[in-house]
Amino acid sequence: MTRAAIAGAVGRMGQTLIHVIDEHESIVVGAATDEKGSDAIGGNAYLLAGIPVGDVTITETFADVADEFDVMIDFTSPDATAAHVQQCVEFGKPMVIGTTGMNDDQIQKIAEAAKFIPIMFAPNMSIGVNAMLGALELVAKTLGDDFDIEITEAHHRHKVDAPSGTALKIGEVIADALGRDLDKCAVYAREGITGEREKNSIGFQSIRAGDIVGDHTAMFATDGERLEITHKASSRRAFANGAVRAALWVQEQPAGLYDMQDVLGLR
């Protein structure tokens, strides 16, 4: 039986992960943390998630419970994730990371850590989104440079980074398929007199409203026709299900940096 450590166990994703794991036959919650100073410290992670059976005490750090888990799942914040990565290297534990908004330095440190432990790092662990990424590569190669490309994403009012990590991944997949450098062709905002659209640009638009879990659309438009590919998540369970699948998979892998395409056997 695999024992998972849940970072940020009191957060929205942490609570969802505990529910999904509780329903799974091959994995249990072995450890759980919440941010320093949280009122949840010392509480029962299962009870706080509304599950009457289960007993895992929430701690501020994984340092004292390293023997209680086999793999860590982290959907917290960039700074917290960076600290957890170093702990997992120290403990020799594999890791699943779904945190978005990481800067280049933090991403590089994850890559460095992956030389010592297996890490599955993906901005979106939904199986549907990852199937979408595979389809987008084929669509982009088929349509070529004759179509304008725009990416829109919508999330709840509490999301702090934009564009979403998934939107950026969509842009990277399309840019790579077309032989473009996303850093050079991405357009993240339009306001005022912008002039005509640059032919090979890839545009991004972000919406933050209400309790939207996550909507992503890639639009390919040219004279006379338009193709849109959309994924809509109606529940965080879509991400939690993928994360649990990734956790069971990554603990069997050698040290290295992986993503959901690897987990799903799509490459």
User: Do 25 and 93 reside in the same domain of the chain?
Assistant: yes
Helix (H) or strand (E) holding 207: strand 202-208
User: Do 216 and 175 reside in the same domain of the chain?
Assistant: yes
User: Do 157 and 116 reside in the same domain of the chain?
Assistant: no
User: Do 208 and 155 reside in the same domain of the chain?
Assistant: yes
User: Do 6 and 117 reside in the same domain of the chain?
Assistant: yes
User: Do 30 and 111 reside in the same domain of the chain?
Assistant: yes
Strand pairing report for 202-208 and 148-155:
parallel
CATH number at residue 62: 3.40.50.720
pTM of the model: 0.85
CATH number at residue 169: 3.30.360.10
User: Do 219 and 240 reside in the same domain of the chain?
Assistant: no
Amino acid identity for residue 233 in this structure: A
User: Do 11 and 23 reside in the same domain of the chain?
Assistant: yes
User: Do 195 and 259 reside in the same domain of the chain?
Assistant: no
User: Do 109 and 15 reside in the same domain of the chain?
Assistant: yes
Q: Annotated catalytic sites, by residue?
A: 155, 159
In tens digits, the chain (267 residues) has pLDDT values of: 999 999 999 999 999 999 999 999 999 999 999 988 899 999 999 999 999 988 999 999 999 899 999 999 999 999 999 999 999 999 999 999 999 889 999 999 999 999 999 999 998 999 999 999 999 999 999 999 999 999 999 999 999 999 999 999 999 999 999 999 999 999 998 999 999 999 999 999 999 999 999 999 999 999 999 999 999 999 999 999 999 999 999 999 999 999 999 999 987
Task: Give the domain range for residue 196.
Answer: 127-233
DSSP-derived secondary structure for 50-89: T-SS---BEES-SGGGGGG-SEEEE-S-HHHHHHHHHHHH
User: Do 19 and 97 reside in the same domain of the chain?
Assistant: yes
User: Do 15 and 93 reside in the same domain of the chain?
Assistant: yes
The number of domains in the chain is 2
